[in-house]
Amino acid sequence: MQVRNTANRFGIVAISIHWLVAIAVFGLFGLGYWMVGLSYYDDWYRTAPDIHRSIGILLMMVMVLRLAWRLVNPVPRPLPSHSRFEVLAAHGAHLLLYVLIFVAMISGYLISTADGSSISVFDWFEVPSVTGRIKGMEDTAGLVHYWVTWAVVVLAGLHGLAAIKHHVIDRDDTLRRMLGTNRHQN
C-alpha cells in the first residue's frame, strides 16, 4: 500500500490516522462517561482522569498531524456514483467533525488547566497552562466539553452509518477506500 493518497484511494498514513482517531475518540468518550460516575473513594477516581487527559493531549498532537497531512496530501476525489448532495454532505460532516474534535480537546485542556496547573502526559512530559488561574473556567469549559463530545460521538456514529450504507446498499468503494481494500488500485 502506498504512503500518500492518490486520486482513487487513501494512503496508509491517512487510513492509520483515521482509525487511530476513531478508536481514541470513542475510547475517550467511554472513559469519560464512566469516570464521571466514580466516587472519591474509588481506586480509579484519580487514575482515570490522568489517562483521559494524557490520551486527549496525544490525540491533539495526532489531530494536528492529521490536519497538516490533509493539507499537503489531498483526499481522493469523490466516487462518480456519489450525488452532489452526498459530496457536499460528506465534506460538511468531515469539516464539522474536525471542528468539534478540536473544540472538545481544547475545552478538555481548559478544564484541566483552569487552576493554572499543567497536564502530565503519562509522566513523559508536561503541557503547561496557557491561561493561568481563571475562576469558573472549568465550569464553562466542562459544559462545552460535555455537549461537544456528545455531538462528536453522534456525528461520528452517523458518519459510520453512512459508510456502511455505501458499502451494503450502494455497493461502492466508500468504505473500502478507508480500509485500504478498494477495487481501484491507482
In-domain check, residue 146:
yes
- Residue 86 domain-assigned? yes
Count of alpha carbons within 13 angstroms of residue 51, beta-carbon side: 14
How far is 47 from 71, CA to CA, in rounded Å? Answer: 36
Per-residue pLDDT at 175: 83
Does residue 25 fall inside a structural domain? yes
Distance from C-alpha of 113 to C-alpha of 54, rounded to nearest angstrom:
13
Total of domains in the chain: 1
The answer as to whether 77 is a domain residue is yes
Give pLDDT, residue 106: 96
CB atoms < 10 A from the CB of 104, how many? 27
Residue 47 in any domain: the answer is yes
Q: Residue 2: inside a domain, yes or no?
A: no
Element (H, E) at 179: helix 174-179
Bridge partners of residue 25, in order along the sequence: none
Task: Supply the pTM of this predicted model.
Answer: 0.90
Residue 7 lies in a domain: no
> Is 184 domain-assigned?
no
111 contacts 143 by C-beta, under 8 angstroms: no
Grid coordinates given for 75: 483526499
Low-confidence ranges of the chain (pLDDT < 70): 182-186
pLDDT at 183 (0 to 100): 66
